[in-house]
A and B are shown apart, each in its own frame.
Chain A
Amino acid sequence: MKKQQIRKMSVITVILFCLTIIVTSMIGCKASQVVSQKTGVQLWTENCQRCHNTPSPSSFSAEQWETIGMHMQTRALLTNEERDKIVEFLKQ
């Protein structure tokens, strides 16, 4: 019973993964216009608070925000566009 369950879940996982890859490839990994037009402030609000409070821009220097932006991209798996816009906003 357990083995069957494991197989079933493995199959479902693989199917979901493949479907996502196929759909992604079909759409071409492009952000819609609505998403592309978002400002750094909007993206800062939406993405940071997914895990923690939104950081104050005054907490770090411009150089430090570049470093933190890269670190946060590895944690939250932000897109490059999101990271760049958020960092630009925080550097101001």
Chain B
Amino acid sequence: MSKLNKVFKITVCIFLFSLCQTKISAQQVVVDSSVLYRIAELEKQVSYKKSGEDNLLIVGVATMGFAAYKTTNTLNGVSSIAKTNSFPDADNFEFSPMFLWRHGKDFLMEFEPSFNNNGLSVNWADVSWFAAPGLIVRAGYFVLPFGTYAKREAAGWIDKLATDPIGIADMTPTDYGIEFEGGLPVGTMKINYDLALTNGNQLLSDGTLTSGNIVDNNNNKTITGRLGFLPFSNSSLELGVSGMFGKVGDQGSAAQGASGNLYAFDLNYIKNVSPFLINIKSQYNIQNISRVNFISPVDSSQTYTFNNHTTSFFAQCSLRPVGANGFLKNLELAGRYTTFNTPANSTFGSNQYTVAVGLDYWLSWRTVFKITYESFTGNSTASKSLNAFNGNTAANTIYVQFSIQL
């Protein structure tokens, strides 16, 4: 009897268990279909948003402001004063969206059109191939590796002052060619190199240089190289030496043998001295061009010549109380001294100096509002016999500027 009872109990248990299982599986079927539907929908959405190998990004810079000038020119003992002001300060206004187009991890295209005082122009248009660790190969139209200011520090949202140091960026060409560059670790130090082969500069009829010719003016290519050295493990100091060598005269012209030899030395140092962040930047450019004869602008049957030697230098120091609280930590004080000496006895020779001081307010890490005062002195060394001497000029300018990285 007890055996029969036991069998009965087991049968009831099996029945109840199978009943429960049927109910659970029925519930599962209902739940699964809705979840599966939802998952399918999500998968569809994710497939639209999943990261591909390519990425197109638009960044760039916009800089605008106001400048008020007072200029005094003294020629033959007679002075004239001019006061002007302008929206924007023409030399520094720009709206430059930059297109970065990445193909996987090996290729990057960079294109930066710019609307500025030259109208619509292009700052660079190039393709970089990340060929190997420590080797990037670039081709196209790019800023040459001559010093660091033009390539790294000139953008309005990076520059601590509203103006560029005179002569420095002007002596750094943008040109068509091919470039090899990279950064390498060397123990606790680092070095970086940058070597470019380009069409090169072109000597103009007054002895100045121009660049960026898509058709080379001679068959000689210009070599530009920079070697950077970061001796400290925290990368706080970088020292660089650059050289640019090539023929500058037009093929078949009287000046076809003329060459240009340029050198640049740069320094960048950053130091945290609580509560301040101190940044020192400097660059010294030297430009030597072969002595050639130019046609006189006064009498085209005559020629003239001069020692075509140009130098430019700047030293800048900025101070930001990053350790302070609130309003103070967004302020930055900057000062800069610049010299720019162009060839004496030419039609454009002068010795120029500027002193600039500025106070910046950082609205964000890439948005800045600047007030800069700049004092300029220019003493003409141009040829009097060519009617090019224009006396001495002194200018005081206040700039109010806003710059943002887009």
Docked complex: B229-253 residues within 8 A CB-CB of A: 229, 233-236, 238, 241, 243
- In the complex, which residues of chain A have a beta carbon less than 8 angstroms from the beta carbon of B365? 52-56, 59
- Chain B residues within 8 Å of A56, by CB: 364-365
Instruction: Output the least CB separation between B263 and chain A (Å).
Output: 6
Contact A29 B362 (CB under 8 A): no
Is B326 among interface residues, defined by CB-CB distance under 8 A?
A: no
Q: Are A27 and B187 in contact (CB under 8 A)?
A: yes
Sorting the interface of chain B by its residue count into under 10, 10 to 19, 20 to 34 or 35 or more gives 35 or more
Please, which residues of chain A bring their CB within 8 A of the CB of B100? 67-68, 70-71
Residues of A within 8 A of B270 (CB): 49-50
Question: Number of A residues whose C-beta is below 8 Å from B?
Answer: 47
Instruction: Tell me how far the C-beta of B355 lies from the nearest C-beta in chain A, rounded to whole angstroms.
Output: 23
Residues of B contacting A78 in the complex (Cβ-Cβ under 8 angstroms): 183
A interface: dominant SS: helix
Q: Does A74 contact B (CB under 8 A)?
A: yes
B288 CB–A CB distance under 8 Å: yes
State whether the Cβ of B108 lies closer than 8 Å to any Cβ in chain A: yes
Interface residues of A in 36-66 (CB under 8 A from B): 46-47, 49-56, 59-60, 62-64, 66
A32-B187, A32-B188 given as contacts; is B227 within 8 A of A20 (CB)? yes
Contact of B257 with A by CB under 8 A: no
Most chain A CB within a 10 A radius of its CB, from B57, B128, B133: B57
Indicate which residue in B55, B186, B236, B286 contacts A27 across the interface (CB closer than 8 Å).
B186
Residue pair A71, B362 in contact (C-beta under 8 Å) = no
**B227 to A64, Cβ gap below 8 A?**
no
Q: Does B136 contact A (CB under 8 A)?
A: yes
Listed stretches B26-34, B83-91, B152-160, B379-387; interface member: B152-160
| B57 adjacent to A64 (CB under 8 Å) | yes
CB contacts (< 8 Å) of A34 on chain B: these are 188, 233
Tell me, yes or no, whether B51 is within 8 Å of chain A by CB. Answer: yes
A67 engages B227 (CB within 8 Å): no
**Residue of A2, A49, A81 ringed by the most chain B CB atoms within 10 A:** A49
- Residue-by-residue, is B290-318 near A (CB-CB < 8 Å gives 1, otherwise 0)? 00000000000000000101000000000
**B interface majority secondary structure:** strand
* One of B138, B186, B241, B286 near A74 (C-beta < 8 A): B138
CA–CA, A62 and B286, complex, Å? 43
Q: What's the Cα separation between A77 and B110 when bound, in Å?
A: 16
User: What is the CA–CA distance of A72 and B102 in the complex, to the nearest angstrom?
Assistant: 13
Most buried by A among B186, B228, B286: B186
**Are A82 and B233 in touch, CB under 8 angstroms?**
no
Q: Assuming A13-B241, A50-B270, A52-B366, is B181 touching A77 (CB within 8 A)?
A: yes
Write out the residue numbers on chain B whose beta carbons fall within 8 Å of the beta carbon of A20: 191, 227, 229
Q: From known contacts A32-B187, A70-B128, A75-B151, infer whether A10 and B234 are also in contact, taking CB-CB under 8 Å.
A: no
Interface mask (B92-132 → A, CB under 8 Å = 1, otherwise 0):
00000000101001001010000000000000000010100
Residues of B within 8 Å of A79, CB to CB, are: 133-134, 183-185, 190
Whether A71 contacts B110 by the Cβ 8 Å rule is yes
Docked CA distance A24–B186 (Å):
6
Complex contacts, B362 vs chain A, CB 8 Å: 53
| In contact, A51 and B152 (Cβ under 8 angstroms) | yes
Q: Which of A10, A16, A52, A71 is packed against the most chain B CB atoms within 10 Å?
A: A52
- From known contacts A53-B366, A76-B152, infer whether A46 and B102 are also in contact, taking CB-CB under 8 Å: no
A53: which B residues are within 8 A, CB to CB?
362, 365-366
The CA of A77 and the CA of B192, in the complex, are separated in Å by 6
Check B55 against A66 for contact (C-beta < 8 Å).
Answer: yes
Check A50/B182 contact, CB under 8 A, given A67-B57, A70-B128, A74-B128.
no
Complexed CA–CA distance, A71 and B157 (Å): 16
Residues of A within 8 A of B (CB): 2, 6, 9-10, 13, 16-17, 20, 23-24, 27, 29-32, 34-35, 46-47, 49-56, 59-60, 62-64, 66-68, 70-71, 73-82
**Contacts A35-B185, A59-B366 given; 17 further ones with Cβ under 8 A?**
A2-B288, A10-B243, A17-B225, A24-B191, A29-B184, A30-B187, A32-B188, A52-B158, A52-B366, A53-B365, A55-B366, A68-B57, A73-B183, A74-B128, A74-B138, A77-B181, A80-B133
Q: Give 10 A-B contacts (CB < 8 Å), ordered by A residue.
A: A6-B288, A10-B243, A29-B186, A49-B279, A70-B128, A74-B128, A77-B182, A77-B193, A79-B190, A80-B133
